[in-house]
Amino acid sequence: MEEPNRELFEKVVKVAQARGFVFNASSIYGGLRSSYDYGPLGVLLKNNISKYWWKDIDNDSEIAIFPVDTAIIQSSEVWKASGHIAEFSDPMVDHKPTGERYRADQVPDDINKEDLTEPRQFNLMFETSIGPVQNENSTVYLRPETAQGIFVNFENVLRTMRAKIPFGIANIGKSFRNEITPGQFIFRTREFEQMEIEFFCKEEDENKWFDYWVKKRMEWYRSIGIPDTSLRLREHSDNELAHYASKTVDIEFLYPWGWGELEGIANRGTFDLSSHEKASGKDMSYFDPETNEKITPTVIEPAGGLTRTLFALLCSCYDEEEVNDTTRTLFRFDFNIAPIQIGILPLSKKDELIEVSNNIKNILQENYRTEIDVTQSIGKRYRRQDEIGTPYCITVDFDSLDDNSVTIRSRDSMEQERILITALPGFFSDL
Ligand code: GAP
C-alpha cells in the first residue's frame, strides 16, 4: 500500500494552475475562497471523465441505465420530502475569542474547548429565492445532490421508457453545498459536479446489486488510470450513515494527505420513493408483471464526484523524473483520458512545415484530440506537452517534405520513431 505524499499536493496544484487545468475563480479580484474555474485543459479532462462514465454504463448489456439532466433548482417540497431541510446539516461551534467557526468534530487540537460555544446545527443547502417578491413561498435551494432530480422523475422515466426493474437512472451535474470546511483545492468545494446513478431493484436482490455496483465502480476507476494501490473500500459505521442509508461503502482514494472519499455506494432502500409518494400524493410504485404486484423498488446508489475524480486523476498521474540533470514533470494520463492526445510540432514556423502539420491535424482530429504547438524550441515544447500529459508528439521537420515521414515521440519512454504520414492513423488505432 502506498504512503500519503503531502509534497505531491503542492506540486499538482501548481502545475494544474500554471498549465490551464484549474484557475482560482474571480482571480482578478483576489479570488473567492474555495471557488475554482476549469480552464481549457481542465474542461477537456472533465469531459473525458464524464464521457467514460456514460460509456461505461451505456455499454452494460445486462441492465438498462437511462440518462436524465435535471434542474438545479427544484421545488422546495423536494428537499422537505427528501429530508434535506431537516437533516442536511452539520453541528457547528464558534470559537469565542476569534469568532472562527468549526465543525464540532473538526476543532483543531490546539483550541481550548472551554472557549467554544455549544454546537448548533447549520444547514448546508444554499438558499435563494425566485420571482420578484421575496417571501417564505419564494425560497428555493440550489440542489445539494443530483440524486433527488432522479427520484422525482422516477415515474416519468418508468412510463416513457417502459422500463422494467432492475434499471437505473443516471444524472451528471453541478451540486452545491455551503461546506463549513471547504479546501484542499478542488477536493471539497461549495460548487462541484456529481455523477450519480439511482439503481432500482427488488428488495430481495439488494445485496447482489450492491456488490455489483461496488465492483463495477472500482473497475471503472482503475480503467481511467487510477492505480489499484491508491483505491480501497471502507464501510460506514452505523453512526456515520446518512439519514436515508441502511448501508454505505465508500470507494476511498489515497489523497496526498491520506485516505478520503471518492465515491459512496449506498443502499437507500425505499426511503426516497416512499417519502416523495407520501409528500406529493403521487404513486411512485412499480407494477411487477411477473407477480402482478405493486412494489416500491429498493435503490442502490453509486454517487461519485466528477471534479473530485479529476483531482484524484491529477494526483495519480503526476510524475517527475530526472533527465539529463533536469527534472521532467509529467502527467501520465491514459491515451483515452488525456486532454490532448497528440501534439503536432513543426520544427519551424515555415509555411511548408505548417502546411504538413495542418494536413496531419486534418487526418487525425476526427478521432483524436490534437494540438499544433509552434512556439519555442522543440525541447521546451516536449516539456510542455509532457507537463500537460500528452501521450504522443509528432515532429514535422524539413526531411518530412521529402520522405513524407514524421517522428513520433512517446511521452512515457521518450523514444522516437520515424513513420510515414500515411501510417499515422494505423499507429494510433493500434494503441
Ligand atoms: N446522493 C448521495 C450523495 O450526494 P455524497 O457522499 O454526499 O453522496 C457523493 O456525495 C460524491 O460527491 C462524493 O463521494 C464526492 O466525490 C462528491 N462530493 C460531495 N461533496 C463534495 C464537495 N463539497 N466537493 C467536491 N465533491 C464533493
Beta bridge partners, 300, equal 199, 267
Check whether residue 392 and residue 277 sit in a common domain. no
Check whether residue 60 and residue 197 sit in a common domain. yes
By most ligand atoms within 8 Å of CB, the mutation choice from 187, 308, 309, 310 for ligand 1 is: 308
Backbone phi and psi for residue 381, each to the nearest 5 degrees, phi listed first: -70, -40
- Nearest atom, ligand 1, residue 145 CA: 4
Q: For the segment 260-269, what is each residue's pLDDT rounded down to a tens digit?
A: 999 999 999 9
CA of 312 to the centre of ligand 1 (A): 14
Q: Are 69 and 56 a contacting pair, CB within 8 Å? A: no
Please report, for the domain that includes residue 28, its CATH number: 3.30.930.10
Ordered DSSP codes for 311-342: HHHHHHHEEEEEETTEEEEEE---TTT-SSSE
Q: Are 380 and 323 a contacting pair, CB within 8 Å? A: no
Q: Is residue 324 part of a domain?
A: no
Q: Is residue 16 part of a domain?
A: yes
Radius of gyration of the chain (CA): 25
Check whether residue 60 and residue 199 sit in a common domain. yes
Check whether residue 172 and residue 307 sit in a common domain. yes
Q: Is residue 95 part of a domain?
A: no
Per-residue pLDDT of the chain (431 residues), as tens digits, is 455 688 999 999 999 999 999 999 999 999 998 899 999 999 999 999 999 999 998 877 778 999 999 999 999 999 999 999 988 888 889 899 998 888 888 888 889 989 999 988 888 999 999 988 888 788 999 999 999 999 999 999 999 999 999 999 999 999 999 998 888 999 999 999 999 999 999 999 999 999 999 999 999 999 999 999 999 999 999 999 998 999 999 999 999 999 999 999 999 999 999 999 999 999 999 999 989 999 999 999 999 999 999 999 999 999 999 998 899 999 999 999 999 999 999 999 999 999 999 999 999 999 999 999 998 899 999 999 999 999 999 999 999 999 999 999 999 999 999 999 999 999 999 98
Give every CB contact of residue 279 below 8 A, 6+ residues apart in sequence. 77, 80, 81
Percentage helix, strand, coil, to 5, in the chain?
A: 35, 30, 35
Check whether residue 72 and residue 144 sit in a common domain. yes
Give residue for cell 540533470.
325
- Nearest atom, ligand 1, residue 179 CA: 23
Sign of the CA dihedral 245, 124, 103, 17? positive
Please report, for the domain that includes residue 402, its CATH number: 3.40.50.800
Check whether residue 15 and residue 135 sit in a common domain. yes
Q: Is residue 190 part of a domain?
A: yes
Q: Is residue 118 part of a domain?
A: no
- Nearest atom, ligand 1, residue 177 CA: 23
Question: Containing domain of residue 165, as a range?
Answer: 6-88+124-315
Amino acid at 366: E
> Which of 315, 349, 367 lies at the terminal end of a domain, its last residue?
315
Q: Cα–Cα distance between 244 and 232 in angstroms, integer?
A: 23
Q: What pLDDT, on a 0 to 100 scale, did the predictor assign at position 370?
A: 98
Check whether residue 211 and residue 285 sit in a common domain. yes
Q: Is residue 371 part of a domain?
A: yes
Check whether residue 192 and residue 263 sit in a common domain. yes
Domain count, the chain: 2
Q: Are 213 and 265 a contacting pair, CB within 8 Å? A: yes
List strand residue ranges (DSSP E) for 89-134, in order. 89-94, 101-103, 120-123, 127-129
Region for 20 from its dihedrals, namely left if φ exceeds 0, alpha if ψ lies in -120 to 50, beta otherwise = left
Check whether residue 269 and residue 403 sit in a common domain. no
CA of 304 to the centre of ligand 1 (A): 6
Span between the terminal Cα atoms of the chain, in Å? 29
If you ran DSSP here, which 8-state letter would residue 183 be given? B
Q: Are 387 and 406 a contacting pair, CB within 8 Å? A: no
Q: Cα–Cα distance between 178 and 125 in angstroms, integer?
A: 6
Q: Is residue 287 part of a domain?
A: yes
Q: Cα–Cα distance between 22 and 20 in angstroms, integer?
A: 6
What pTM was estimated for this model as a whole? 0.93
Q: Is residue 292 part of a domain?
A: yes
Q: Cα–Cα distance between 170 and 429 in angstroms, integer?
A: 30
Check whether residue 187 and residue 44 sit in a common domain. yes
Q: Are 103 and 92 a contacting pair, CB within 8 Å? A: yes
CA of 112 to the centre of ligand 1 (A): 31
CA of 341 to the centre of ligand 1 (A): 29
Check whether residue 181 and residue 311 sit in a common domain. yes
CA distance to 15, 368, 418, 424, per residue, from 371 (Å)? 19, 10, 20, 15
CA of 171 to the centre of ligand 1 (A): 13
- Nearest atom, ligand 1, residue 188 CA: 24
Check whether residue 371 and residue 417 sit in a common domain. yes
Give every CB contact of residue 87 below 8 A, 6+ residues apart in sequence. 243
